[in-house]
Amino acid sequence: MIAFLTKRLMHAILVMFVISVLAFAIQGNLGDPIQQMVGQSVPESEREALRERFGLNDPFHTQYLRFAANALQGDFGFSYFYREPALDVIARHLPATLELVFGATLIIVLLSVPIGVYSAIKPRSPISRFFMGVSIIGISVPVFLTAIVLIQIFSIGMTVSLFPQDTAWGSWLNGFLSTEGGMPSFGRGQDLTHMVGYWDSNLFTLGGLRHLALPSIALASIMLPLFIRLIRAEMQEVLQSEYVKFARAKGISLRRIYFVHALKNTLLPVITVGGVQIGTMVAYTILTETVFQWPGMGLMFIDAINRADIPLIVAYLMIVGVIFVVTNTLVDLVYGMVNPTVKLTGKPA
Amino acid sequence: MSLLNVTDLDVRFALRQGEVRALRNVSFSLDRGERLGIVGESGAGKSVAAFSLLNLIAKPGFIAGGSIRFDGQELNGMSERCLRKIRGNRISMIFQDPMMTLNPVLSIGEQMVECLKAHRRISSREARTIALHKLQQVQIPSPETRLDQYPHELSGGMRQRIIIAIALLLDPDIIIADEPTTALDVTIQAEIMALLLELCEKHNVGLILITHDLGVVSQVTQRMLVMYAGRVIEEGPTREIINDPQHPYTQGLMNALPQMATPGERLNQIPGSMPSLSKLPSGCAFHPRCGFVKRADGQPRRACHDVIPDFVESGNCRVACHMVAEMLNGEPSLAKEETP
C-alpha cells in the first residue's frame, strides 16, 4: 500500500512537471503581459524596464525555473485582473465548481445504475428501448444546448398550444406539456451556507439546492447516457458468463444473481471509466458555468482567457491537473478495494 | 419407476432463420445412485440435454415438448420458483471450466454459504461449518483458509474440487457433470474423476456424466447413451456397448480411440463431420458418413436415406439403426416420425 502510494506520488510529480511546462509555455503566446498591465500610453523605454524587472527577457528555462520554484511554494503569481494571488482567486471559485460536479455526479450515480441494470436485464422492454433512445440523444446534444433548453422549460416556462384547446384531451395535453418555469438559472443565489474559509455551500438550503438543480442536470446530461450504456453493456456481458449460469444452477434467487453476482463485476470497469470522467467533468463545467453564470472555476477561466490574465490561466491549468491526478489515484485505490484480484503494490503488474 | 425419467425431450432454438431442433425424442432414465454417461461429438446435444433438465438453457433455446419426471414431479413447465428449489439442492451441476465457473469477486466461503442459505433456513455460522466439512470431503488442504480466499488464488484442480464441494453441499440426489475434467491438466483429470466417483458412491448420488472421453465413461458409469445430431442412437449398459458397439457411429467412435490404431499407422477416424442441426440429412442423420448404407451385396439400403430409424432392442441395448434392425428382424425398422 505504502509502496503503491509512493509510486503514484512519483507518477504524479512527473505528470505535474509536464503540465507545468506546457502551461508555462503558453505564457509567451497569449499577448504581451506588459500591455495588459500598463495599457497603451506608457512609452517603450518604460515598458522595456518593466520587462527587465519582471524577468520577461530571461531565457525560457530561467523563467520556468523561477516559476516552478515559486509554484512549489504555492505562489502562482498575481492575477492581473483581480490584483491578488492567483491561487486565492482559484480557491474562491473552486467550491462552486466542486459542488456543481458533486451534484452532477450524484445524479449520474443515482440514475445510471438502476437504468443500466434494468435495461440489461430486460433489453426488449419498451422502457429499456425508451432509455436507450433518449441516451443516444443525450450523448449527441451538446451541453450548452441542453442547458438552454432546460432554462426555457423550467426557468422561463412555456405554454404549449399545439393540440386543439377545445377538446378535453387536447387541453389536457397542452396543460400537461406547458410549464410554469421559475427555477433559478442565474448564479448560485443568496441562500448560501458558510462553511469554512472560501467555502459557501449550496447544499444545505432549499433555495441553494434549487439554484444547483438546473446546472447539475445540464452537466450530468452529457455523462449520464454514457454511463447508462456502459453499465448496460457490461452487465449484459456479465449475465452471459459461466459463473452467472453456475449461480443459477445453484438455485440462487435472480435478485441475488443480478445485484450481488453480476452488479459487482459490472461495476469494476465502470469505476475505472467513472474516475476519468469525473476529471473530465471538471473541464466540462466551463460550458455549463458559462450558460448558467455559475461563479465557479470554469467561468473564471473563460473570463481569464478573455482578459489574457496569464497567471490565473496557468494556475487553473495546474489545479485541474492536480484534480485529475488525485481522482485517478483515488479511483485506483477504490478499484483495489473492490476487486480482490488486484493487489496494490509498487511493482509493475 | 426410476428417480429421473426423461421422455421424448424436444429442445429447439428459435433462430432468425427459423427453428433449429437441438434435441429430438431424447429419452432416458436414471435410478437412485446410478451413474449414466452421455457421449457424442461436440454439437451432438449433450450439454443441451444436461442444461434443459433444470430448464437452464439460454435463450433463444427452449423446451418444446417432452417430459422430465423427477421423483414424482414434472420439471418441464414447472415454475421458476419451484425449479429453483430443486436446482443446487436436489439436482446440482458441475460445469466444464473451473476457471470460469466461480465468481471472481466473491470469496469461496460466500459462494458456498449463499447456496446453503438459498435452500435452508440456517445461520451463516452453521452454513460455514457445513461448507468447511464439504471442503474436507473433497480433500482440499487447509480448508479453513480456503473459505476466505478468492478463486484467483487457487489452481484449476483446486477450483474444480471446490465446485464439486458446492455440488455436494446440500446432499443432492443427482449431480449433472458437464465435461468436468475437460479443461483440466491431464495429470489432474484422473484425480478429480476418482474423487467424484468416490463421493458419488459413498453418498449414493446419481451421476449424469457428459463427456467425450470413452475411457472415463467405461470406468465410471454403469449405463451410457450415445448421441448424434440431437438424438440418442444407442443406449445400454456401458460394458456391453464398449465391448460390442452395435451402431456404426458407436463402432466408429471406438475405432477412433488411439489404442485401437496399429502403431506406426494413421489413427482411425469417421469420415466427414457432424452435420449442422439446421441442415440435417434426410433419413438417418448419420447415413452420409456411414459405411453400411449399402448392403453386403452392394445394394443401397433405401431406408437409411429416407426413414429416421426407430430403436430396436439388441440384448440389453437399444439401437437406432436400420442395418442392426435388418440383421435382427430381417426388415428395416420404421420410425414414428417421418422425415421433415
* Tens-digit pLDDT profile for residues A237-255: 999 999 999 999 999 999 9
Determine what percent of chain B is predicted with pLDDT higher than 70: 97
Q: Are residues B201 and B69 in the same domain?
A: yes
Question: How much is the pLDDT for B327?
Answer: 85
Q: Cell 453476482, residue?
A: A261
> How many Cβ pairs closer than 8 A exist between chain A and B?
76
- CB A260 to CB B106 under 8 A? yes
CA-to-CA separations, B5 to B8, B28, B31, B78, in angstroms, rounded: 10, 6, 9, 15
The reply to whether residue A340 touches residue B56, judged by beta carbons under 8 angstroms, is: no
Q: Which residues of A touch B106 (CB under 8 A)?
A: 260-261, 264
CA distance to partner chain B, nearest, from residue A338 (Å): 8
| pLDDT score recorded for residue B339 | 45
A339: pLDDT strictly greater than 90: no
* Number of domains making up chain B: 2
Q: Residue B334's pLDDT band (boundaries 50, 70, 90)?
A: low
Question: How many alpha carbons fall within 13 Å on the CB side of residue A165?
Answer: 5
Name the grid cell of B106: 466473491
**pLDDT per residue as tens digits for the range B155-169:** 999 999 999 999 999
Q: What is the pLDDT of residue A344?
A: 66
User: Does residue B79 sit in the same domain as residue B208?
Assistant: yes
Chain A residues close to B88, C-beta within 8 Å: 249-252
Complex prediction ipTM: 0.89
Tell me how far apart the alpha carbons of residues B122 and B119 are, in angstroms, rounded to a whole number.
Answer: 9
Instruction: Check residue A43 and report its DSSP letter.
Output: -
Does residue B333 have a pLDDT over 70?
no
Q: How many CA atoms lie within 13 A of A184 on its CB side?
A: 18
Residues from chain B contacting residue A241 (CB–CB below 8 Å): 100
Asked whether residue B189 is assigned to any structural domain, the reply reads yes
Which chain B residues are closer than 8 Å to A242 by Cβ?
A: 95, 97, 100-101
Mean pLDDT of B253-272: 84
Q: To the nearest whole number, what is the mean pLDDT of chain A?
A: 87
A110 or A168, greater pLDDT: A110
Who has greater pLDDT, A53 or B156? B156
Taken in order of first residue, the domains within chain A and their CATH numbers are 2-30+74-338 (1.10.3720.10)
B8-58, pLDDT tens digit by residue?
999 999 988 888 999 999 999 999 999 999 998 888 889 899 999 999 998
d(CA B104, nearest CA chain A) in Å: 8
pLDDT tens track for B72-126: 899 998 999 999 999 999 999 999 899 999 999 999 999 999 999 999 999 999 9
The pLDDT of A69-73, averaged and rounded, is: 87
Query: Which among B56, B80, B152 has the least Cβ separation from residue A249?
Result: B56
**Mind telling me how many Å the CA of B214 is from chain A's nearest CA?**
26
In a shared domain, residues B124 and B36: yes
CB contact under 8 A, A249 and B119: no
Minimal C-alpha gap between B84 and chain A (Å)? 5
CB-CB contact of B76 with B66 (8 Å): yes
Q: Is the pLDDT of residue B338 over 70?
A: no
Taking the CB of residue B135, how many other CB atoms lie within 10 A of it?
A: 23
If asked whether residues B149 and B294 sit together in one domain, one would say no
- At what angle are helices A206-239 and A263-292 packed, to 10 degrees? 140
Mean pLDDT to the nearest integer, A200-218: 89
Residue B13 shares a structural domain with residue B160: yes
The answer to whether A242 contacts B101, with C-beta atoms less than 8 Å apart, is yes
Cell of A33: 503581459
Say whether both B207 and B319 belong to one domain: no
Q: Is the dihedral of CA B31, B37, B42, B44 positive or negative?
A: negative
Set of chain A residues whose Cβ sits within 8 Å of the Cβ of B89: 251
3-state secondary structure of A77: coil
Model confidence pLDDT, tens digit, residues B281-291: 888 999 989 88
In a domain, B268, yes or no: no
Averaged confidence pLDDT in chain B: 90
d(CA A96, CA A93): 6
Residue A342 dihedral angles phi and psi, to the nearest 5°:
-105, 130
Query: Which residue range(s) make up the domain with B318?
Result: 245-260+280-329
Quick check: is B334 in a domain?
A: no
Inside any domain, residue B35: yes
**Same-domain pairing of B148 and B215:** yes
Do the domain assignments include residue B337? no
B293 pLDDT higher than 90:
no
Q: What's the pLDDT score for residue B28?
A: 93
Share of chain B above pLDDT 90, in %: 63
Yes or no, beta carbons of A245 and B58 under 8 Å apart: yes
pLDDT at residue B308 is higher than 50: yes
Task: Indicate whether B21 and B58 sit together in one domain.
Answer: yes
List the single residue in A with minimal CA-CA distance to B119: A251
The partner residue sitting opposite A247, judged by closest CB among B97, B103, B107, is B103
∠ at Cα A286 (A283, A289), nearest 5°?
130
Task: Give the model's confidence band at B330: pLDDT under 50 very low, under 70 low, under 90 confident, else very high.
Answer: low
**Is B114 in contact with A250 (Cβ distance < 8 A)?**
yes
pLDDT value, residue A347 = 55
Lowest mean pLDDT among A186-200, A298-312, B75-89, B238-252: A186-200
Average of per-residue pLDDT across A157-178: 82
Same domain, B256 and B205: no
Q: Is B92 on the interface with A (CB under 8 A)?
A: yes
Residue A328 to chain B, least CA–CA distance (Å): 22
Domain match, B113 and B171 both: yes
